[in-house]
Amino acid sequence: MDSQITAVDEFLRKQGLERIEFHGTDYSWGFRENEPVIALIAKGDGGAAFQAAMSLYWASAEYIVKPWCLFISVEDIAPHHRQMIENLSRQFNINMVPIDVLFESVEEQLDDLVKILEAYVPEGSIEPFIDLGKSVRSWGEEKPANEYSYNVTIEVGNLDVYKEGDELTPSRKTIPLTVTAGETKIDGVLPRLVKVDDSGCFFDTEHRNLPMVFRLFIGDSSRLVLRFEADKCNMIEATSFWSLYHGFLRTGRLAFIEPNTGDILFSCEGTG
């Protein structure tokens, strides 16, 4: 093991992460089995590193667990392969770094993770990453759920998909939308219309197997509800939701967008 990798390994273990085996990586560390928080590709040539990265993210199904953060410390990656990895890194947390700055880069990622998932770190913690790890390991048993409700104004776009004839009609019909707030976006969100009455209409994405829930109450007093159930999630889902949540708090805006056309179906803006 390279001395830089040894230093990273010792540091991560002190932070409460464990070495785990994970396909396509040379080294992986995580809080839970088969779910890397930090992963590293550092062996072989550039072509092999590129193929490994692509198999982890681009070629695998969305429901397959992926490393939350992947480092690639291989020097001879071809320019066109490097460009493809950089394109993929816009969607996933992938970092191509020289081995001599790997340690500092890992430290930065751990700091970022604590900030994103601060909801699971006790206030005043003197070992925030270790405490975060304890929380993550308990999610399956303790089933923590966080729900937030905000008064908002909601502008609606073309809702024909939710109509029968010319009327909005509750049904299971829906289309996958992209939710955005700040710099974060989450694809594949499926709001369905569940209620229409004199007070307005109610859209809900709740599904028993998904950790994220978005609810929209559209009427005289419109509301946006964000809910996250940690026992159902992996690390990428957790960081995606909480990054979106922080983006909404920072900007006061959240939108549901039809990804093929770019049309905004629901645009939410906080009122206070």
- pLDDT (tens place) for every residue of the chain, 272 residues total: 678 899 999 999 999 999 999 999 999 999 999 899 999 999 888 899 999 999 898 755 666 789 999 999 998 899 999 999 999 998 899 999 999 999 999 999 999 999 999 999 999 999 999 999 999 999 999 999 999 999 999 999 999 889 888 889 898 888 899 999 999 999 999 999 999 988 899 999 977 678 999 999 999 899 999 999 999 999 999 999 999 999 999 999 999 999 999 999 999 999 86
The predicted structure's pLDDT at residue 60: 58
What mean pLDDT is reported for the chain? 93
For residue 35, give the DSSP letter.
B
The predicted structure's pLDDT at residue 174: 87
How many CA atoms within 13 Å lie on the side-chain side of 165? Answer: 2
Q: Are strands 94-96 and 145-156 parallel, antiparallel or unpaired?
A: unpaired
Contact 34, 24 (CB under 8 A): no
- Which token pair is 35? 């779910």
The predicted structure's pLDDT at residue 109: 97
Torsions phi, psi for 202 (to 5 deg): -130, 120
pTM: 0.93
Q: Please give the C-alpha separations between residue 69 and each of 7, 57, 93, 204, in angstroms, as whole numbers.
A: 18, 11, 5, 31
Residue 188 falls in which region: left (phi positive, over 0), alpha (psi -120 to 50) or beta: left
